[in-house]
Structures are given as structure tokens and as C-alpha cells.
Structure 1
Amino acid sequence: MSVRDLIPWGRDTGNHVPNLLRDDDRDPFLSLHREVNRLFDDVFRGFGSGVPSFGSRGAFSAGWPNIEISDTDKEIKVTAEVPGLEEKDIEVLLNDGVLTLKGEKRSETEDKDRQFSERYYGRFERRIPLGTEVMEAQVEARFKNGVLTVTLPKTEKAQSQVKRIAIKS
């Protein structure tokens, strides 16, 4: 008995099911091989925030630093967690409606005796498109206990463009 005999759509049993699958989709070993390759690709690409991506341009994944954005009628507030950094290590830029957080975390010790580390070191850059007009002269950035908070007040025009839409049942 061959492996193809175990696959219901591969046998000729008289019921004529149209062949909608490619030949390699019918082979379970090729499907398994493809799935294992996909899993390895996912591991080496990184799963998102918090997991380093081995093939990326730095030690940080694309989601570092972790941010929180709140948008009210009057302002946008961006909070970023940057533990282990100081004010001098971070640069905050606002250009054409995009807030950019840049910085670098340096290692405090030599790598000679280090066997294993889950800590991140290196440069990072996070760009956040704001999508509304802000009063650039009144933008404020505060740093306390490893948390950076940037407050971006909206212009009068942006505040007046907010329109509430009633939800009907």
C-alpha cells in the first residue's frame, strides 16, 4: 500500500471529485515540508514586539520601544517605555506629521563573561504617523523612570474637524 492510497482524494473510488488541488498539495510530505519551512521562517523573521529578529538590521525588533497612543479631542499623547535609557540617549523629532523616536541603548559591561542575555542593545527608531495637524510650538516631551511621554496639542482646525457619528440600532 502506498501513501497515496491513504489519501481519499487520491484514490479512484468511482466518485468523481474534481481535482482542485495541485499535485504537490496532495502529497502529505511536501505539505509537511512546506509547513515546517514556514514555521522556521516565522521564527527567524520574529513574531512582532518583544522578540528579536535575527535577520533584522539591529538587535531590536520592529516593535521596540513599546508605545501607547491616546487621541482626545484636544491632544495626542504618545507614551514609550524605554527602560535603561536616559534623556540624553533619546531623540524626539516631529517632521511632516510624523513623530520619530530615535535612540541607542548601550551595554554597561564587556561581553567577555556573558554566556546568555535576553537584554536588547543597539540603535532603535520608531516612526508614528499622527494623521492630524498639531501645534508644533507647543509639543512637550517628558522623561521619568524609563517612560517617555510626548504630548502633541491639536490645532483649532483639527479639533473642529472631529465629527461624532450617531450609531443606529
Structure 2
Amino acid sequence: MTTPVRRHPGGATQDRTVGWARNPLTEFDQLINEMTGLLESTVGSAAPAAAWTPMADVTESDDAFHVEIELPGVKAKDVDVEANSQELVVTGEIKERERKGVLRRSTRRTGAFEYRLRLPGEVDMDKITAQMSDGVLSITVPKADVARPRHIEISDTSESSGNSS
């Protein structure tokens, strides 16, 4: 008994492997990639590029919230930071560089980006600062005085009341 033989474009043949040696989704992924390429080559991209969200860290200290957003290769003039009583919004766009030659592979993010952070109500909106350094946008959102923790001293009245008996 012989095993089935699959014919590939160009006349090449390949023995069909049975069992775990073959990934059953490989052919399906290849089909989707070919169909997507065919559609994009005939009608262009199906949907407009949506804004993507950059990587960020948010930390909290006693007096402020600190946001660090990774934006490698972005200039400060290409970024917009807005804050209202509800949220902090960082928007901008990374433009595709002009290149000489044929681009064979690209994994860098380009296009519009947007980062949103919901703010607690107790922040000092007038003292928010932002600075760009080495591809990292650092934003400091100070807490309002009412939101900062305050240490309360506890007085010991048991000594004075215990002596009067």
C-alpha cells in the first residue's frame, strides 16, 4: 500500500506525513495569507489603519502618578498630551520612513497611536508635566493635596486619666 502524494505548484511532490509530525493548521494559515495578499493586491487594504496603543508603565507614589510610555524614534513635537478631569490622553503618529530599495520585511509599528489612562478625581490638573527622553515619554500627574495621605499623631490620654484616681 502506498501513501498519498501531494502535488505542489512547480511540479514538486511531497510525501504526506501522518500523525504529530505535521501541523494541521499550516495549510490553513498559508491559505489565509495567500487570500489576504490577493485581496490587498487587487482592492488595497480592506480597513483603514486603526490607532495602536504603545507600551506603558503606570506607577503611583505618595504625591503623584507616574506614566512612562515607550515611543522609540518619536520626536516630542509629534506627540500630543491632553488631560481633563476624567482621563489622560496621549496621541500621535509614527510616520513611515522613506527608504531606498525594496523593503523585504518590516515589524516596526507605524501610523497613529493613542494611549488613554483613566484618572482618579483627586489630581492637580494644573501641575501635570511631560518630558521626552531616549524614546520614553514620562508624564507626572501630581495628586491634589486632599488626596495625599497624612500621618495623624495619636495622643495617649490614658496616663493623665489613670493618675487622677
| TM-score, L = length of structure 1 | 0.56
- Alignment of 1:80 onto 2:69: yes
For 1:120, the aligned partner's letter is R
For 1:93, the aligned partner's letter is E
Distance in 1 separating the partners of 2:126 and 2:51: 31
Q: How does 1:62-141 map to 2 (within 5 A)?
A: 64-110=53-99, 113-141=102-130
Residue identity over aligned pairs, in percent, reads 28
Q: How far 1:58 moved relative to its partner?
A: 2.7
SS in 1 for 2:130: strand
SS in 2 for 1:69: strand
Aligned to 1:58: 49
For 1:129, the aligned partner's letter is R
SS in 2 for 1:134: coil
- Alignment of 1:150 onto 2:129: no
| TM-score, L = length of structure 2 | 0.58
Does the aligned pair in 2 maintain the 1:143–1:149 contact within 8 Å? yes
Number of matched residues?
109
Q: How far 1:115 moved relative to its partner?
A: 1.9
Evaluate the alpha carbon distance shift between residue 147 and residue 56 of structure 1 in structure 2; reply closer, same or farther with a 3 A threshold: farther
Q: How far 1:142 moved relative to its partner?
A: 0.8
Does the aligned pair in 2 maintain the 1:97–1:133 contact within 8 Å? no
Q: Which runs of 4+ in 1 moved over 4 A?
A: 54-57
Q: How far 1:109 moved relative to its partner?
A: 1.4
Unaligned runs of 5+ in 1: 1-35, 41-53, 163-169
User: Whose radius of gyration is greater, 1 or 2?
Assistant: 2
For 1:141, the aligned partner's letter is A
Q: How far 1:160 moved relative to its partner?
A: 4.2
Distance in 2 separating the partners of 1:56 and 1:133: 40
Unaligned runs of 5+ in 2: 1-24, 30-44, 152-165
TM-superposition CA deviations, 1:86-145 (whole Å, max 9, x none): 001111110123000101000111487112110111001111002242111111101111
Distance in 2 separating the partners of 1:113 and 1:132: 51
SS in 1 for 2:148: helix
